Amino acid sequence: MLKQLESLLWRFGSNKTHLKLARKWGVEVGERTIILNCDFGAEPYLVTIGNHCLIAAKVQFVTHDAGIWVFQEDQHPPPYNKVGPIVVHDNCMIGISSIIMPDVEIGPNSIVGAGSIVTRNVPPNTVYAGNPAEYIKSYDEYLEKSRLTEIDIESAATVKEQLIQKFKNK
């Protein structure tokens, strides 16, 4: 199914446009990566995304923590801003509307569930989700569970029928 999604995105130019913009802003992006409409924040040049990643729509990469604003009027104010890089390693998927905070690394072969807020590193070969994101299961456990709901997609025209048959006509 991912190959069909990738094919559609390339055909309609959506991924090309987002990749071009991300790279123009300074985001390092690997090969075969799909980026939908994302927010790379004020320092996009601090974001690195590896090969064969899928970054869903509305993902926000937050490379700075402006919370220290409240200390600016203290006797000994801290630096103006706390800034840190974000690294997404190879073969990762970040779900729709997730937020990735500064100084976070997402390990290879990892998945971040939709709507998650990632405040610390995600180890390799894991699935994390929630607010704050926490460990859900291993890559292998997720693969095994995914096989239970797998469908054979031969063409985009039959997807709807296969999904209805699999999930509605049990």
Token output for 105: 């690394």
Q: For 120-150, how does the pLDDT look when each residue is reduced to its tens digit (9 = 90+)? A: 999 999 999 999 999 999 999 999 888 877 6
- Nearest alpha-carbon partner for 15 in 38, 36, 44, 31: 36
Q: For 43-80, how does the pLDDT look when each residue is reduced to its tens digit (9 = 90+)? A: 999 999 999 999 999 999 999 887 777 777 776 666 65
Provide the pLDDT for residue 161.
74
Answer yes or no: is 141 within a domain: no
Instruction: Find out whether 50 and 90 touch, Cβ atoms under 8 Å.
Output: yes
Is the predicted pLDDT of residue 89 greater than 90, yes or no? yes
| Residues carrying an active site annotation | 76
Helices H / strands E in the chain, number of each = 4, 15
Look at the chain and report how many structural domains it folds into: 1
Return the CATH number at 77. Answer: 2.160.10.10
pTM: 0.80
Name the residue range of residue 23's domain. 2-136
Provide the pLDDT for residue 96.
96
The average confidence (pLDDT) of the chain is 84
Is the predicted pLDDT of residue 157 greater than 80, yes or no? no
Token output for 166: 């699999």
Measured on CA atoms in the order 39, 5, 17, 107, is the torsion positive or negative? Answer: positive
Answer yes or no: is 8 within a domain: yes
Provide the pLDDT for residue 169.
67
Answer yes or no: is 34 within a domain: yes
According to DSSP, the residues that pair with 129 across neighbouring strands are: 134
Instruction: Find out whether 60 and 21 touch, Cβ atoms under 8 Å.
Output: no
Degrees to nearest 5, angle at CA 103 with 98 and 106: 55
Answer yes or no: is 152 within a domain: no
Answer yes or no: is 86 within a domain: yes
CA contacts within 13 A on the Cβ side of 137: 9
Provide the pLDDT for residue 10.
46
Specify the pairing of strand 54-55 against strand 93-94: parallel
Answer yes or no: is 158 within a domain: no
Answer yes or no: is 106 within a domain: yes
Answer yes or no: is 62 within a domain: yes
